[in-house]
Structure 1
Amino acid sequence: MVAVAHANVRDAAAPAPVADTNAGETEEGIPVTDALTREKCGTCHAPDAKGNLSRISWVRTTPEGWAQAIKRMVRLNGLQVTPDESRAIVRYLADFHGLAPEEARPVMYLPEHRIVDEAAIPNDTVRQACAACHSFAQPLSWRRSKTEWKLLQDMHVAMYSQAEAQYRRVPDPAPGAPPPAPGTPPVMNGQVALDYMQKTAPLHTLEWGSWRPRIRAPYLAGTWLVSTHLPGRGDYVGELTIRPGKAAGEFVTATALRSLATGQALTRQGTGLVYGGYAWRGRSAGPTAPAAVDDPATPTRDTMWFSPDQKSAEGRWFWGEYHEFGFDVKLTRAGTAPAIAAVAPAALRAGTTKARVHIYGANLPADLAPADVSLGDGVSVRAVESVAPGDAVVLADVAADAVSGRRDVGVRGATLPQSLPVYRTIDYLKVVPDTGLARLGGEKHPKGYGQFEAFGYENGPDGKPNTADDVKIGPVDVDWRIDEFMAVQNDDDKAFVGTLGPGALFTPAADGPNPARRFGRNNYGDVWVVATAKTEKDRFGQPLTARAYLVVAVPAYQRWDQPEVAQ
């Protein structure tokens, strides 16, 4: 018994061997160095001799992705973690197991909650496998080892029966591809998608290899020029002041904006934090309670992408039950040199004389002369009418034979690229978004609104509409209406789905059965949103028109989000 006791003491004193928990991995992992993350995650994700934690060290993703993963661990695996601990772990993982700025930028529309037609999906096979249930930006927001991509696919098969059905479908043959040889086993959708993701979104990339040693605490304090567009309200300019917050990476903001359409002043106060040195997540609000659903003073979630040099940023400040309203924001750091944030009017027509052009910015020189201002080829500045540090007004003439296109605007050493369109004629209109989604609502479920706009375009050098060389001119004054989309005979959707205001704000009808409708159906349906120009005409002398497709659906009865990644 004594001998056994001594043996037990000896074995207890000896260090436990580190298990090789990643025997299936052939790639180098990213060690987890944060003590709290190792404490909370290491009970299930075992460490190895190199400091890696199983699974975690072979994936990288956005703050939202890591927040989603922690929630899944709490729900499915019983992770015990407090809100403060969870936020700290997300901060660490998003910083040092996140995406490089160049990797995050193409999928920013996901945390910005934009509805977009995804152009990155390579083919219908990958679409069916990866984007039949969620946005394609969801997998593209992750970087994984080959083994992890396979494990992710296996997890989908285990948890979602629909995933297995999608993966086991035989893809459509590529156009012009020869038929497979007899007896050749078919390649399923799942394998095609797995090969694509392993190649397109690997764990180790040149972007990450370059960014990892550059990760640093963000230095964003100071004044930033703001140029923003709010659909339905137009363009705003102003300044955003950022001050350090209570902790590293946290900030306090104050924003002062002015509408270029009405001159209305708008102020906002907010807070924000930065992940990975560039990914801003925050909140802000106006000083008063909003007076309408589309009031620009409404509290917003703020998502922005800061350039690696920390001199510019872009993003979206959004609100609404379905995040359907939002400012499209661009920031430029204001230093001591002249800087340009925006130009008005939105465009100049060839042959115009004495056009009054406002150049909004900072540190504009008081001794500004016409020779100091450049509005591009074919546009001459005849006089400087007035100058203030943030707004210079010049008078300009546009040659009758000026080439159509977007001009750079320059003031001495400052340049705002492609900010002033010059055009000859408006050839066609485009309603945006070209595909909209609104949701019915009433007492129990909130409504989801739809905001539309109409922009004019000139055919480019090829003379054809809707091609890459077309010139976007700017907003056009139009009348709005709803037309029936002929999907079902005699369904009369336009009489029930909702109303479209003069400012192109669509307000959906109430949800629930409608006794006034055939078969007592709900007020869902699909319609056309039509814009008719008040003055612009086509070559036949008829008013220009354009339309967008709008689906009015029932409420989303189940929704999820990651609000905790923002202050």
Structure 2
Amino acid sequence: MIERLRKGHVAGLAGLLLLMPVPSLAQDGATLLEENCGGCHEADANGVLSRIGGQRKTPEGWLMTIVRMRLFHGMEIELPVQSQLVHYLADTQGLAPSETEGYRYILEREPAVVENIEAPLGEMCSRCHSSARFALQRRTPEEWALHIDFHVGQWPTLEYQAQGRDREWLKLAREEVVPLLAEKYPLESEAWSRWLEAQKPAASGSWVFATRLPEKGEAYGRLEVSGDSQPYSVSGTLKTAGGEELPVSGKLNVYTGYEWRANLDIGGTAYRQVLAISEDGNSLSGRQFLHAEDSLGSTFRAAKAGGKPVVVGAVPSTLPAGTSATVQIVGTGLEGIGLSGAIEASGGAANAFGSAIDVSPSAGTDGAVAIASAGASLDDGLAVYSHIDSLKVEPSFAVARVGGGGGSAAKVPARFDAVGYWNGPDGQPGTEDDVRIGVVPASWAVAPFNEEAEHLKDAEYAGKMNESLGIFVPAVAGPNPERPFSTNNAGNLKVLATSGEATGEGQLIVTVQRWNDPPIR
């Protein structure tokens, strides 16, 4: 399935350009900035270039700015120099780790986040793009005002497209939105000042990790990061819960001292990582996804080997009762594993990824298992179940996109997990006291979401669901003469999961192609 998705799909702009080597050039970053940007941006008495000096952005944000200068203003710059500039700007005018909290989903290309933005920003800004896009910028009040003017100048019909005919859009933007943006997202902040002075964590060394692969499920492994200059070399091994061992290799760039951007080959399949190194340098977290299709991915958690004792996770993380298994406790600094709760066990065989421990939960066993070792612990990393009271589909709402058919936009699939729950003290499913078991095996299907979807035969035309993987691949783009009005293969579907006697339901919208897909949506 993944191979079929990869064919004809061009890798994302950020994936290609943010992994460019950083050459050892004679000029430093400030000189390169002056040489490549000073022709249009005037320097003040302190040598700070107009517009540029009043902004801070993520590496993706600076990349988008430079690409826009090339596309719309004829800027001529070689890709190695562009890479150097992105690094320089992200390092000197980036965002502190705390300033990206709550908005990293947009950098990590998480496909199923539903934003809830209050007015006026929800009305004035988020009608066209994500709120994370402006929340991951910092500007002076003057720059926020110029940003409004830029929008009107670049898109003259903006006021009408943004449903602005019922209000004085430009007046509201200048008098209400600009002060609010300047207050919430100012250029100068204590967090950024502290981060500029802080010692940056090292990416080099060994990392033990836990993640999931789209078709292979839960996995764990070890990465080795080496090299004296960027991009660093990455090598390692990944093991699936099923016992398959895959080699890992690739390249890594680090921006702003903590922004980890890697392109990896895992067993012959290209993946991309958008992660963040913790401020203390001991952990790593974010999302890993297919380079060819960022909707197919999962969370990625890692700990620096040789650091303080840490339990990253357990693979597998859910166990049917009455079966024997070897559970890999992923972590570092572990000295003997202790399991308590639904399973009582101790010991384990140390390995390069942590420690492996054999367990045999009795039939009829239900409950969470706490993991402890050498002062490190994890309360919710493992669960044993003999029954499931209720099942939830995650995400509960998702979007897939038709594609292919000779066009430049490939199909955008959607992936779902079935998450089991036990009833809480109230004995009722679907209430706040329910206890999460974790991801469990399930069979998958789709059905029309409503009467209109049934009438239009959306389940027949919109695409196919893989019955065991929970991956939905949409149909081909373009008019379909078999449908009413020869409409395309869009659809409104129920996503149905079944595990034992438990069932769960989600919603999937299959819609048209996304023609403009920038690094920050």
Q: How does the TM-score come out when normalised to structure 1?
A: 0.77
- TM-superposed deviation, 1:271: 0.4
- TM-superposed deviation, 1:435: 1.8
Equivalent residues in 2 for 1:371-450, closer than 5 Å: 373-376=337-340, 378=341, 381-382=344-345, 384=347, 386=349, 388=351, 390-393=354-357, 395=359, 408-416=370-378, 418-421=380-383, 426-445=388-407, 446-450=410-414
3-state SS, counterpart of residue 133 of structure 1: coil
Distance 1:157 1:117 in 2: 28
3-state SS, counterpart of residue 45 of structure 1: coil
* Larger CA deviation: 475-484 vs 386-395: 386-395
1:250 matched to 2:231: yes
Distance 1:67 1:550 in 2: 32
The residue aligned with 2:470 is 504
1:524 corresponds to which of 479, 490, 515:
490
The residue aligned with 2:224 is 241
Q: Is the 8 A contact 1:168 1:188 kept in 2?
A: no
Distance 2:181 2:369 in 1: 39
Distance 1:327 1:186 in 2: 41
Post-superposition CA distance 1:403-441 (Å, at most 9, x none): x6x664211233335323477963321112222222223
- TM-superposed deviation, 1:214: 1.5
Q: Is the 8 A contact 2:334 2:355 kept in 1?
A: yes
Post-superposition CA distance 1:179-201 (Å, at most 9, x none): xxxxxx99847754434322221
The residue aligned with 2:198 is 214
Distance 2:300 2:451 in 1: 37
Q: For the structure 1 residues 205 and 468, does the alpha-carbon distance in structure 2 shift closer, same or farther, using more than 3 Å as the test?
A: farther
Post-superposition CA distance 1:378-407 (Å, at most 9, x none): 4563554655563231548799999x6x66
3-state SS, counterpart of residue 488 of structure 1: helix
Distance 1:400 1:495 in 2: 40
Amino acid at match of 1:515: P
Amino acid at match of 1:506: F
3-state SS, counterpart of residue 107 of structure 2: coil
Q: Is the 8 A contact 1:514 1:521 kept in 2?
A: yes
* Larger CA deviation: 520-529 vs 442-451: 442-451
1:83 matched to 2:79: yes
1:223 matched to 2:206: yes
The residue aligned with 2:153 is 158
Q: Which has the larger radius of gyration?
A: 1
- TM-superposed deviation, 1:65: 0.7
1:199 corresponds to which of 183, 190, 195:
183
The residue aligned with 1:284 is 264
Structure 1: gaps spanning 5 or more residues: 1-31, 172-184, 289-297, 536-542, 563-567
Post-superposition CA distance 1:51-76 (Å, at most 9, x none): 32222111100011111111222233
The residue aligned with 2:448 is 484
1:551 corresponds to which of 497, 509, 516:
509
Post-superposition CA distance 1:67-123 (Å, at most 9, x none): 11112222333333222221111111000100001112322222221113344x441
* Larger CA deviation: 267-276 vs 226-235: 226-235
The residue aligned with 1:23 is none
The residue aligned with 1:97 is 93
1:133 matched to 2:131: no
The residue aligned with 2:272 is 301
The residue aligned with 2:104 is 108
Equivalent residues in 2 for 1:34-49, closer than 5 Å: 34-49=30-45
Distance 2:176 2:504 in 1: 39
Q: For the structure 1 residues 468 and 104, does the alpha-carbon distance in structure 2 shift closer, same or farther, using more than 3 Å as the test?
A: farther
Residue correspondences, number: 486
Q: Is the 8 A contact 2:140 2:186 kept in 1?
A: yes
Distance 2:210 2:402 in 1: 33
1:266 corresponds to which of 246, 251, 263:
246
Amino acid at match of 1:519: F
Q: Is the 8 A contact 1:232 1:504 kept in 2?
A: no
Post-superposition CA distance 1:254-287 (Å, at most 9, x none): 1211111x11111121001111110011211135
Q: For the structure 1 residues 360 and 160, does the alpha-carbon distance in structure 2 shift closer, same or farther, using more than 3 Å as the test?
A: same
Amino acid at match of 1:393: I
3-state SS, counterpart of residue 481 of structure 1: strand
Q: Is the 8 A contact 1:383 1:395 kept in 2?
A: no
2:311 corresponds to which of 340, 348, 352:
340
Q: Is the 8 A contact 2:260 2:275 kept in 1?
A: yes
Post-superposition CA distance 1:460-519 (Å, at most 9, x none): 456665566543211223222111122627211111111112222212222222232233
Amino acid at match of 1:280: W
Distance 1:73 1:143 in 2: 19
Distance 2:193 2:449 in 1: 51
3-state SS, counterpart of residue 285 of structure 1: strand
Amino acid at match of 2:439: P
* Larger CA deviation: 549-558 vs 418-427: 418-427
Amino acid at match of 2:285: E
The residue aligned with 1:361 is 331
3-state SS, counterpart of residue 106 of structure 1: coil
Distance 1:259 1:343 in 2: 12
Q: CA RMSD in A?
A: 3.3
Q: Is the 8 A contact 1:215 1:276 kept in 2?
A: no
Q: For the structure 1 residues 187 and 417, does the alpha-carbon distance in structure 2 shift closer, same or farther, using more than 3 Å as the test?
A: farther
Q: How does the TM-score come out when normalised to structure 2?
A: 0.83
Distance 1:414 1:399 in 2: 29
1:495 corresponds to which of 427, 439, 460:
460
Amino acid at match of 2:109: H
Distance 2:199 2:95 in 1: 11
The residue aligned with 1:329 is 300
Q: Is the 8 A contact 1:252 1:270 kept in 2?
A: yes
Over the matched positions of the two proteins, sequence identity in percent amounts to 32
